[in-house]
Amino acid sequence: MTGSIDALAGRTVRGLSIANIAAQIGIIVTGGAVRLTSSGLGCSSWPQCEPGEFTPTFQVAATIHPFIEFGNRVLTGVLLVIAVLLAVAVWRAFPRLKWWGIVPGIGVLAQAVLGGIVVIFDLDPVLVGLHMLISAALVWFSVYLALRVRDAPRRNGRPLAGLRRIFGLLLIAVVVMGVLTTGAGPHSGDANANDRLSLDPALLARGHAATVWLFIAFLAVLIVSVRNDRSVGEHDEVRKAWIVLLAITLLQGAIGYTQYFTGLPELLVGLHMFGIGLLVAAHSAVNYLLRGNSIASSRA
């Protein structure tokens, strides 16, 4: 009986961890929709949409902007519920990971507060960029947590700690440069907002492309290092993960170049933002698997 309860608890945690990843990436997508449709100030107040009104008001003259912005806020609420349930489930089923389990919930609360500050300061590009960076960090952490609660098998080889650190720094550089490029570009989040980062968007775009090429080059080095590692057994768990990461990275690069040379159409920019979530998630999985089997199961 106890074994059945433990198995059910484990499945519950694993299910919630997957739902948390999906919702964290979903927030990036809906946040991108808010920005690309100029709905950032669709709700002029926070936490209410308008002073005295929690939800948008249906009126003949109403635009779609308040509903897009409010939809993003609703998804934040859904994500908070998932994060709280995940924290409780991890606390009960995986006591050794209990402090890890509360991180997504704390992150969502911080994001909600920061979102309110972004509205109050009329979509300041630095705050909007920070909003995006935190979302990316939460996706990365959520994938890592999901793999830990699953006790996903790691590769049978050296942990390659030095290479993993450099690879992590390159991911940060790619995401930060992408956020800066967007902050200096035309998609401010509101049609009436003129506030942009006082930086050359073309120069930032070239710098962003350079970091992506460095990321791809280092990924190739990492792949060669893993394949040449004689301590790896016949079944290398990381192989599928780096294939996925490479495919996502190349697709992101293709979308990035296409959107740049076609005038940054909203649909392509939105796909690129969705790709950021996938890229960060795939990197987290590779990083987990590259640590090797030196870390024992965390299930208590």
* 212-245 pLDDT per residue, tens: 999 999 999 888 887 776 665 555 667 788 889 9
211, pLDDT greater than 80: yes
pLDDT in tens, 7-16: 566 788 889 9
pLDDT at site 215: 96
Query: Which two tokens mark 64?
Result: 């779609």
61 contacts: CB under 8 Å, gap ≥ 6 = none
151 vs 249, residue with greater confidence? 249
Q: What is the mean pLDDT of residues 75-92?
A: 92
Q: What percent of the chain has pLDDT over 90?
A: 41
Beta bridge partners of 39: 190
| Least reliable range by pLDDT among 1-5, 99-103, 172-176, 272-276 | 1-5
What pLDDT digit, counting tens, does each position of 252-274 carry?
999 999 998 998 888 898 899 99
User: Which two three-digit tokens encode residue 244?
Assistant: 């996925």
Residue 130's contacts (CB-CB under 8 Å, 6 or more residues apart) are 114
Q: Which pair of structure tokens corresponds to residue 139?
A: 């996706």
pLDDT in tens, 133-190: 999 999 999 999 999 998 887 776 666 788 889 999 999 999 999 988 887 777 665 5
Q: Is the pLDDT of residue 299 over 50?
A: no
Task: Choose among 44, 17, 41, 68: nearest CA to 270.
Answer: 68
* pLDDT score recorded for residue 238: 75
- Tokens 């570009």 belong to 185
Q: Mean pLDDT for the chain?
A: 83
Using the predicted structure, report yes or no on whether residue 196 has a pLDDT greater than 70: no
| Mean pLDDT confidence for 14-21 | 94
Residue 297 pLDDT exceeds 60: no
The CA-atom distances, in angstroms, between 205 and each of 26, 99, 249, 276 are 25, 38, 16, 15
Take residue 107 and report the two structure tokens written for it: 């992150």
Higher pLDDT, 34 or 16: 16
pLDDT at residue 173, as a whole number: 96
Q: Is the pLDDT of residue 72 over 50?
A: yes
Residue 199 to residues 75, 180, 184, 260, Cα–Cα distance (Å): 32, 9, 6, 17
Region of 68 on the Ramachandran plot (φ > 0 left; ψ -120 to 50 alpha; else beta):
alpha
Full-prediction pTM beyond 0.85? Answer: yes
pLDDT score for 159? 67
